[in-house]
Structure 1
Amino acid sequence: MRKPSLVDGIFALVAVLVVAGGGVMLFRSTPGPAHTQHQQAAAIVPASHSDGLSEVEGGYRFERVVMPSGRGLAVPVAFRILAADGKPVTRFLDNQTKQMHFFVVRDDMHVFRHVHPNLDGDTWHTAVDLPDGGAYRMFAEFIPLDTKDPRHPVVLGVPFSVAGDTSLVPVPEPDAHTVTETGYTVTRVDEPAELPLLGERALRFAIRTPDGAPVEKLEQHLGANGHMTGFHTMLLSATHLHPVEPAGAPLINGELTFRSVFAERGEYRLFLEFRHGGQLHTAAFTVAVAR
């Protein structure tokens, strides 16, 4: 990972203090200029959020049951979600067709996993591929049944480490262009400049097949056109964004839009998941939020 600067450290400390002091308030602003179709759909998109800095939030606590014991394929993980009274919670609202989303990232952002645990009794079980050692963080994301804001899930974050030699990879610099492991080209076509802190912004991504053709329509993934999760490269907080275009709607010029609000300064690594040609593809971007 690139060496943090003194300024980065100050902003990181301020962000942690803000979160510890009661959270970050997000204000929604008026959407800026965009395609008419994008503007019409943007009004229904859920608000983004930035969480996962603690294993306790909103009266819920992450209880470790089985933690990763080493690198490998399908490494088992098990945990419980406890309410304020200490009792396990086993039912949540569906969030993009799933009660529980579970993410794992390494601190250099080179490893990203998104899976959906299964409930057995009062314990959630899953498995993740961990190809290398290093410092990691896992995130459990869910929407409580009694929530007052279903747009804003609870996200609990827990650090862990995998022993052994580690090949750290520097976080890529912000760039508007990336290619998936499956050969799809994804280009950010909004103004890929520094993003505003706490300012709403539409992020638009043009998706091209390996032969360069615009993707006219995406297959549903988790009940939507796609899924995007971002992680602050220093704090490892999570930001979840939903696509603007309704599931199944044709894409304008092959573009998929996400409405974003970022709660901390610095850089984020965004992971865009979309399904096309019967296959799930993942595109990763680094974006900078105004310092």
Structure 2
Amino acid sequence: MRKPRLTDWLFLALAMVIGVVATFVALRPTPGPAHSAHQAVVSAGLVPAAHSDGLSEAESGYRFEQIVTPSERGPDRPVIFRIIGSGGRPVTRFLDNQTKQMHFFAVRDDMNVFQHVHPTLVGDTWHTTLALTDGGAYRMFAEFVPVDTKDARHPVVLGAPFSVPGDTTFVPVPAPAAETVTATGYMVARADGTAPITALRPQVLRFAIRGPDGAPVKAVDPHLGANGHLTGFHTMLLSATHLHPVQPLGTRLANGELTFHSLFSERGEYRLFLEFSHGGRVHTASVTVAVA
């Protein structure tokens, strides 16, 4: 029997490598539902547009710089911040997004506190106040559209956590519901009831509005240059989702319905905050939806 030569050892080593690779491929886990859904969307040519979700203080070359952050409860807690650009300098000019250069939100982690305000630019800093009458863990979001954007429909959203000390009245996030009532007595019902929304798929959400008298609202007043404003927040991740009105400003509402384009990137429950103007004031409706 001859002694193994160098080529014999090389062929043996190659066979072992091929065997290991084949075993790895055979035992590799099957892609999960989220990955499969994403692949299906890509294969269909419906690649979701990049969506900024406010889970980071820095994104797309911009950074959220906190200067004054609320540290106690009160009706007018000051907030001061800068938006720093890629060159390390404050950015003070953005495109108008629903009539405002800057939209600013604050939500508590139980979604029971929601604030939507519009900061004022003073020099190179943005100033606003928040009404924080209860303690707890919060997250703030700055939403803006850069002047050099390639897609004005998808703003940059930067976020940062903050906390307010003191006793907190925790309120569990309500389960998905077909309808809700605003603090001002308006009934808002989702046309699809509690049906889950499909993640990574563009869809239209419809909300029927009835006044305190029970009659469908035939028309709403302009609010931020549109028929309404709708923002969603993931109840676990606290990520933000911006939704766009479908109907042109001034369109009369069929059956009292407002409609919005939506694209949710994550599965789970979202708390939606719908703002609309009617009867000389702005009303806010909040409803939980499930995304599967």
For CA contacts below 8 A with separation 6 or more, give which structure has more relative contact order: 1
**Preserved CA contact (<8 Å) 1:29 1:199:** no
Distance 2:166 2:55 in 1: 25
Give the secondary structure class of the aligned counterpart of 2:219.
coil
Aligned match of 1:263: 265
The letter for the 2-side match of 1:199 is R
Match runs of 1:48-127 below 5 Å: 49=51, 51-127=53-129
**Preserved CA contact (<8 Å) 1:228 1:270:** yes
TM-score (norm 2): 0.83
Distance 1:194 1:163 in 2: 36
Distance 2:281 2:188 in 1: 16
Distance 1:263 1:119 in 2: 32
Aligned match of 2:237: 235
Structure 1 residue 268, shift from structure 2 partner: 0.3
1:164 to 149, 155, 166: 166
Matched, 1:174 2:173: no
Distance 2:203 2:193 in 1: 10
Distance change (3 Å), C-alpha of 1:49 and 1:254: farther
Aligned match of 1:129: 131
Distance change (3 Å), C-alpha of 1:48 and 1:207: farther
1:139 to 138, 141, 149: 141
**Preserved CA contact (<8 Å) 2:235 2:269:** yes
**Preserved CA contact (<8 Å) 2:270 2:288:** yes
| Identical counterparts, % of pairs | 70
**Preserved CA contact (<8 Å) 2:232 2:270:** yes
Distance 1:48 1:166 in 2: 36
Distance 1:112 1:97 in 2: 21
Q: Which runs of 4+ in 1 moved over 3 A?
A: 26-31, 47-50
Q: Going by fraction, where is helix more abundant, 1 or 2? A: 2
Aligned match of 1:40: none
Aligned match of 2:214: 212
Aligned match of 2:198: 196
Structure 1 residue 29, shift from structure 2 partner: 8.0
Distance 1:104 1:27 in 2: 33
Distance 1:29 1:195 in 2: 19
**Preserved CA contact (<8 Å) 1:107 1:137:** yes
Q: How many residues align?
A: 252
Deviation per CA, 1:38-84: give whole Å up to 9, x if none: xxxxxxxxx79451000000000000111102111010000000011
Deviation per CA, 1:79-133: give whole Å up to 9, x if none: 0000112100000000000000000000000000000000000000000100100
Distance 2:173 2:57 in 1: 25
Distance change (3 Å), C-alpha of 1:61 and 1:135: same
Which consecutive residues of structure 1, in runs of 5 or more, have no partner in the other structure?
Answer: 1-13, 16-25, 32-46
Matched, 1:287 2:286: no
Structure 1 residue 202, shift from structure 2 partner: 1.2
Distance change (3 Å), C-alpha of 1:225 and 1:30: farther
**Preserved CA contact (<8 Å) 2:220 2:250:** yes
Which consecutive residues of structure 2, in runs of 5 or more, have no partner in the other structure?
Answer: 1-32, 35-40
**Preserved CA contact (<8 Å) 1:57 1:156:** yes
TM-score (norm 1): 0.83
Deviation per CA, 1:166-202: give whole Å up to 9, x if none: 1110000000110000000000013531111101221
